[in-house]
Structure formats: structure tokens, C-alpha cells
Structure 1
């Protein structure tokens, strides 16, 4: 049985990914900060799910999690770097610096450090797959995207540079870049708990769902060992591209 490690496992994309991988006959280690949510998932998914307390922004927490994995003699075949968040939609000139710091700590530093911890064992075994969860925000700029978009651009380029570094090994790297997605806490967190604003964002729109992302993870993981899916960009049919903004002198 292959073993997957999923960060940000307690809700949204992470929870759906854990469910899909369990259904695909993986043993899944789910790492997240909220122990109560992990316990609920453990009760649902059973013996093939291992709940692991983890804060990717805390070096001591990450060290303890990796030590637990080593102590259990588990080789990670699949790492899904899912933990991430967006905070605020303010323009850069009025954004809260603490929000910027937290997004960088989670989306950039946390993702990089989890990878740094687990990648050497994959290379030593000459086997493994890393799937990073990026965003279309890493490609398409928009007002209020600032540091969140920049953090996902990091994920895109980090994924590609990992591929360059891993040339000559059988370790694979993919980046999934979702667009508008409902059924998660993402927008509620980003909009500081403003449920009315969240409802307005998704009103009359059939967005993609966490299950769509989870199915994509399983599809990538199911490709033959000689196939690397560099990136997958996923949008709902309802979402497309906006015209470039023009500021007029009035």
C-alpha cells in the first residue's frame, strides 16, 4: 500500500483529497492544526488514515511530524502540499502587513519547508510524487491579489525548479492551479467571516468543487511512472478571462 502525506487535511481541498486517496487504496497521513477536525476525519476514514498534528509555519511542529513519520517507518510516496490560505482583498497600499506575513509563512515558507524535509528520502528511494496546490492567481493578476497571487506564483515556479533539480531521478512534481471553487472555507477566511460577501461571490455561479481537485490529484498520481504532469489549470466553465484594466483621466 502506498502512503500519501496531505497537509491542510482538516477541511476543504485537503479533506476531499484524503477521502479520494483512501478510496484509491492509499494509506493517508493527514496533517493539520485543528486536532478536532482531524479526529472527525479519522472516525470517518478509519484505519488507513493517520491523523498528524501539524502547523507548517512552525518549525518545531514540522520536525515533530517528520519524526513521527520516521518512527513509523513510513515512506512517503505522494506528498500533497495543500496547506495555504488567502487573507483580505485590500489593495496593496491599504493591506494589513500581518496578513501578508501569514500568507508568506504558510503558502511560501511552509510549503517549501515541508518539501525540504521529505524530498531527500524520495530522492534516496528514487521514487515519489509531489503535488503542489497552487492557484490561477499565480498566473493572472487582479486587484487585491497582491501577496496571495505572488505566493502562488512562487508555488508555480518552485514546482518547475524542483523538476529541473530532480532531472535524472524518478521523482515527479506537479502543480494544480484551481480557479473559483466553492464548498471550502477559503473565501470565508479571506473575507474575514463575512458570509454575505461570500454568498454574493458564489451567487448564480456553478464553481468547481473540492472533489474536482481531489479527482485531479488521484488522476495525476495514477499516471505511469514515466509521465510527469507539470501543471493542471482548472476553472469552472462560468469563469473566464477579464479585459485588461484601463484607468481613465476624468
Structure 2
């Protein structure tokens, strides 16, 4: 890290990886705009960490425009952490719920696009900056029942990769963090529509990552010297070899 305080926006900051990232970056000395839909949770996080809460739905053009205007008016930006996203269902392609697919593409792909497109000019105004996208190992492989989520995450990955190629020569870094199995309070619970028993089975018999593991990876990549770009960092539990192979040994 440089001696100058840096400022970032973290989306999906009200829980899980997003909240852990806000805590970690604040501990590292960053000024953080914690952005998410749930204002009550953001207020609690702000009281705990000193982060600045901003309520935003990244599927809304108007909300994202308001976020951009706010950030520009209150000090500019050095980095954006595109963390907001999520999975819905685990149906076979032939049984796919089209509304769930639309929702996943809206938040994972178009939401990331809205935020990145809106905030990129602020990074340029600063003279240099970082666009970090939290995808998933789902962005790098398929698995049965996962086509909606893996499709959305593959698209999000290509957004990041293409942007990196398009801004080459500018002092802009584009970083992708692709976590494997991460046990957070909501990811699998949301995916399985509140079925706590089914959600818990995802993490049975092995030690999954926790949100702080991913926040640590995010903080490390952002703290590299300005000439160093971590294009892609895949972070998995030791027990997970790929999207469908997990050693459930009880350890």
C-alpha cells in the first residue's frame, strides 16, 4: 500500500464476502463506500468499521447513477470491488426457471457492467485505479444443475477479461478473484430458497473457505505495486479439486 489513503467501493457489502472485504480493507487503512440493498445491515457495518454506507440496487440504472454521482462528489475513487452476485436454484437445463436465469444474469453480469461502466471514468480521473471482479470457479467450469449460474459467471469473467484487453496501456488494473466453495451465511441458503438443511449439506464433511479467506485475497491483490496486475486468482478449499470433486473426509 502507498502512504496515501485510497478509496474503494465494495458492492454486495451487506453480508458474506462483501462485508468481510469492507472489514479487511478498513483495517488496512482504506476509505470504503459499502454499497448494497439492505440499509439496516450497512448501517450496522458502518458503525462497526467506519465505512460509508450507500444503499444501491445494482440492477437499477438510477441507483447506480446515484452511486456514481455520490462517489464523484465526495472524493473520487481508486478502486471498485464488484462483489455483488449470487446463485438461484440448481435445476437441469430442461427444467430451467427462466426468471431465475434472468435474475442471475441481471445481478452477476449486467450489475457488474453498470457499476464498472459508471465508475471507470472516476478511476481515470484519479490517474490510476483498480477494477476487481469477484467471479467464482463457476466462471471456469460447468457442473450439472449449474448452467444458469455458471453461464452468468462465465459472462462476468469475459467482461473482466475483455476490459483488461481494452484498457491496456492505461494505468488501470483489472483483477479477477474466483473463489471455490465458500461457506457464508446466505449464499447457499438463497440458492436453495431458504432450505437450511439442503444449504448445510453443501459444506458437510470438509472445511470450506470462509468469507475472510476471500477478503484476504482481495486485499492482497489490491495492495500489489501499481505495475503488478494479478489477472486471475483462483482460491479453493484444500479439499476441493474442481467444481464437482470434493474430498468429504470429515476433516
TM range (shorter): over 0.9
Measured in 2, the distance between the counterparts of 1:61 and 1:157 equals 24
Q: Scaled by the length of structure 1, what TM-score is found?
A: 0.93
Q: Which runs of 4+ in 1 moved over 4 A?
A: none
Partners of 2:72 and 2:7 in 1: CA distance: 13
Asked if the contact 1:13–1:184 (Cα under 8 Å) also holds between the matched residues in 2, the reply is no
C-alpha change, 1:242 and 1:41, in structure 2 (3 Å) is: closer
Distance 2:131 2:111 in 1: 14
For structure 1, the residue ranges without an aligned partner over 5 or more in a row are 245-250
- Report if aligned partners of 2:77, 2:126 keep a CA contact under 8 Å in 1: no
**Whole-Å separation in 2 of the counterparts to 1:124 and 1:108:** 25
Name the residue aligned to 1:163. Answer: 164
Q: How does 1:200-211 map to 2 (within 5 A)?
A: 200-211=201-212
**CA displacement, residues 103-122 of structure 1 (integer Å, 9 cap, x when unaligned):** 01100101001000011222
Alpha-carbon distance between aligned partners in 2 of 1:129 and 1:142, rounded to the nearest angstrom: 31
Give the 5 Å matches for 1:1-250.
1-46=5-50, 49-72=51-74, 74-241=75-242
Q: 2:142·2:243 contact (CA, 8 Å) conserved in 1?
A: no
- Deviation at 1:138? 1.0
Unaligned runs of 5+ in 2: 246-251
Do the aligned partners of 1:30 and 1:51 also contact (CA within 8 Å) in 2? yes
What is the CA–CA distance in structure 2 between the aligned matches of 1:101 and 1:228, rounded to whole Å?
Answer: 32
| 2:188 alignment partner, SS class | helix
User: Matched residues in 1 for 2:48 and 2:110: separation?
Assistant: 31
1:218–1:241 distance in 2 versus 1, CA, 3 Å: closer
1:35-58, Cα deviation, whole Å (9 max, x unpaired): 110011011112xx1000100001
| TM-fit CA distance, 1:124 | 3.6
Which secondary structure state, in structure 2, belongs to the residue aligned with residue 240 of structure 1? strand
Across the aligned residues of Structure 1 and Structure 2, the Cα RMSD in angstroms comes to: 1.4
Match of 2:248 in 1: none
Which is worse superposed, 149-158 or 185-194?
Answer: 149-158
Residue aligned with 1:202, SS: coil
Greater alpha carbon shift after TM alignment, 5-14 vs 194-203 = 194-203
Equivalent-residue separation in structure 2 for 1:194 and 1:86 (angstroms): 14
TM-score after normalising by structure 2: 0.93
